[in-house]
Chain A
Amino acid sequence: MANYTKEGCFLIAEGGQSGEELYIFMQAKKNHPELPRIIYDGRDHAIFLRNSEQKIILDYIHPEIRDKLRKAFQVMVVETILDNIKETYPVEIEIVDNIPLDWNKAGLGTWEEVFLSESKPA
């Protein structure tokens, strides 16, 4: 898990004329992407392989968009600097049965553990 970084904050948006296209907004990264792809198993987290050196965990994907993300063949990644778009590019989604990473080692739990427990009254 040493070579992976967590995105921490990103936005998956429905767009396009029919609203069927998916866009993932995130902060701009250094260098340009090379053969980017996203590996996803339909659960809490996904892996964004931006290039050979950048492996980014898209952590805590909102439950309501997971099904659409799982069924998508491709998404558009939008990298922004403040509210300006640095670059946009298509990224293929590779769906797997299970991402073979131990999320606990990255300090990640499930979406329900983190966000539903935060909303509970003290």
Chain B
Amino acid sequence: MSKGYVGGENQNSEAAKKQIANFAEAAKGMGFALGIIATGEKAVNLGKNAIENATVTTITADDAWGAREGEQVVNLDGATISGGMAFGASAVILAYTGRREMKKAFVYGVKGLYKASKNTLSFAKKAVEELQHLTQEYVAEDREHPNKPTFFNKVNAFFGKSR
């Protein structure tokens, strides 16, 4: 759990408190959770969050959900989301429906894909840059194996067409 330290003379205003919460959310999106924020007045314990509580296991060949072998699975609050699956799911669903609630799944998915690599800002930028390339890789692989029970193929079957 990382710690944050608030600065600035306006930090106790209501607007600043909302801004600090935004900073913490932005930090979460970057892959590190600010568990405690020290202000001029007191330390605010934000409590544990899903990222901090996440457990990571590696998928074996027996996994039947269509997640690819070798991927890492991020268990968030009891819901298991494979890195590649969450990434692929969110990308596909975003493409089909434009639903913004998949944003968090996307973030977790990208984080899962790059779990083994360095957890720095460059990871976030690199993840965004490679998003399209990885999506196309998954899509191409699934199109070669239309009977494989992957999420993309299930979505295609549901919509009755292939994108």
Tell whether A pairs with B. Answer: yes
Interface residues of A (CB under 8 A from B): 6-17, 19, 21, 23, 25, 27, 58-62, 64-65, 76, 78, 80, 82-85, 88, 108, 111, 114-115, 118-119
Q: Does B136 contact A (CB under 8 A)?
A: no
Nearest Cβ in chain A — how far from B65, in angstroms? Answer: 29
Please state if A59 and B7 are interface contacts (CB–CB under 8 Å): yes
Nearest Cβ in chain B — how far from A101, in angstroms? Answer: 16
| B residues near A62, Cβ cutoff 8 Å | 5-7, 38-40
Please state if A64 and B5 are interface contacts (CB–CB under 8 Å): yes
Please state if B16 and A14 are interface contacts (CB–CB under 8 Å): no
Chain B interface residue count, CB cutoff 8 Å, equals 38
Known: A62-B40, A83-B25. A8 touches B5 (CB 8 A): no
Total CB contacts across the A-B interface at under 8 A: 122
Closest B residue, CB atoms, query A23: B27
Identify the interface centre among B7, B12, B27: most chain A CB within 10 Å of its CB: B7
Closest B residue, CB atoms, query A88: B121
Please state if B30 and A60 are interface contacts (CB–CB under 8 Å): no
Please state if A12 and B27 are interface contacts (CB–CB under 8 Å): no
Interface residues of B (CB under 8 A from A): 2-13, 15-16, 19-27, 29-30, 32, 34, 37-41, 118-121, 124-125
| B residues near A111, Cβ cutoff 8 Å | 40
Known: A85-B29, A118-B12. A80 touches B7 (CB 8 A): no
| A residues near B26, Cβ cutoff 8 Å | 25, 78, 80, 83-85
Bound complex: CA of A33 vs CA of B95, how far in Å? 33
Nearest Cβ in chain A — how far from B24, in angstroms? Answer: 8
Nearest Cβ in chain A — how far from B136, in angstroms? Answer: 25
- Supply 18 further A-B pairs (C-beta < 8 A) apart from A9-B20, A60-B9, A88-B125: A10-B6, A10-B8, A11-B6, A11-B23, A12-B7, A13-B3, A13-B23, A13-B34, A14-B4, A25-B23, A25-B26, A59-B8, A62-B38, A78-B23, A82-B22, A83-B21, A83-B26, A108-B9
